Amino acid sequence: MTLEPWWLLTAVLCEAASFVCAMALLRLVLRTKSWFAVVTAGLAGNAVTNTLPGGDAVGASVQYRMLAGTGIDTVQAASGLAVSSIIGVAALFSLPIFALPVIIGGTAVSAGLVHAGELGGIGFVLIVALGAIILTTDRTLLTLGKTIQWLLNKLPRRRKQSTDLGARLVAERDLVRSDLGRNWWKALLLIAGRIGLDYLSLLAVLRATGSRPNPSLVLLAYAATAVLALLPLTPGGLGLVEASLSGLLVLANIPTGDAVVATLAFRLGSYWLPTLAGGVCYVLYRRRYGPLRQSEEVT
């Protein structure tokens, strides 16, 4: 099977633009002007997530420590990463909503894709509810802060005790809420660009195989796979994403051979190339800021 080069180039450009949107969103919620700090920390953390067991937690820790190592306040870094994560997950769960008109309109949809849409709807409601609680109530953050503070202070060889972490989380939440309130349209455009361009990259590699995909059915397959990738079963969803996406694309009426080839080409741009770029970013970070220090912790 041959792949049409222009469609492959389109897929690569869409994937690159998707990562730019992701870094710009993180820069927005962190309230920093430093592209270097955000990009190097973001891609290096993503590379760790994609390669190590339990990578989500380890990758987030590396990203946090790298941001803190650039001079960004530790609470600001932690809250910014949390907000960015919540926004991203909520957007992923909302994707099946955009395919509802096709389903309601009578287009034949496999039961597997319908269930994926239902899962997305339930997840979207839960994530929005969680976000609303965090943004509007102080008690939840105060309790969370006290719990984290107690755990941190129990760690052996901790040189500095945390104090008033709950109050500082509330203050940081208020700053983020105020800033996003003024820039909500930027956050909306960036998260739409982050996910939308990634999805367009998948459509492009499907077209590169010669397929003529139904965009709405592919959207359901893409959304279901993205949700499955959130489960920390393998580093970066390696193997799980390939198996689920190719199978769901078949349910979306893509020929089996085209679905497998398109999935592998899509993962090359969305998984392997950013992972390699993350290693380069870590080297560049160390040249400017030096090695990561264990002292980069919430205080």
* Residue pLDDT, tens place only, 263-290: 999 999 999 999 999 999 999 999 998 8
**pLDDT (0 to 100) of residue 295:** 47
User: pLDDT at position 42, please?
Assistant: 93
Mean pLDDT of all residues in 28-36: 90
Whether pLDDT at 191 is above 80: yes
Q: Residue 1: is its pLDDT beyond 90?
A: no
User: pTM higher than 0.75 for the full model?
Assistant: yes
What does 129-156 look like in DSSP terms, one character per residue? HHHHHHHH-HHHHHHHHHHHHHHHHHST
Number of neighbours of residue 269 by Cβ within 10 angstroms: 23
pLDDT score of 106 more than 60: no
Residue 127 makes CB contacts below 8 A (sequence gap 6+) with 86, 89, 90, 93
Statement: residue 105 has pLDDT above 80: no
Tell me how far CA of residue 127 lies from CA of 87, 124, 186, in angstroms. Answer: 9, 5, 20
CA distance 223 to 44: 25
Mean pLDDT of the chain: 81
pLDDT band at 256 (very low <50, low <70, confident <90, very high): very high
pLDDT level of residue 86 (50, 70, 90 thresholds): confident
Q: What is the CA radius of gyration of the chain?
A: 20
**Do residues 236 and 271 make contact, with C-beta atoms less than 8 angstroms apart?**
yes
Contacts of 241 (CB under 8 A, 6+ apart): 225, 228, 229, 267, 271
Give residue-wise pLDDT tens across range 204-248.
999 999 998 888 888 888 888 887 777 777 887 888 889 989 998
Reported as a pLDDT band with limits 50, 70 and 90, residue 154 is low
Q: Minimum mean pLDDT among 35-44, 49-58, 174-183: which range?
A: 174-183
Q: Please report, rounded to a whole number, the percentage of residues in the chain having pLDDT higher than 90.
A: 31
DSSP code of residue 97: G
Range 53-71 average pLDDT: 83
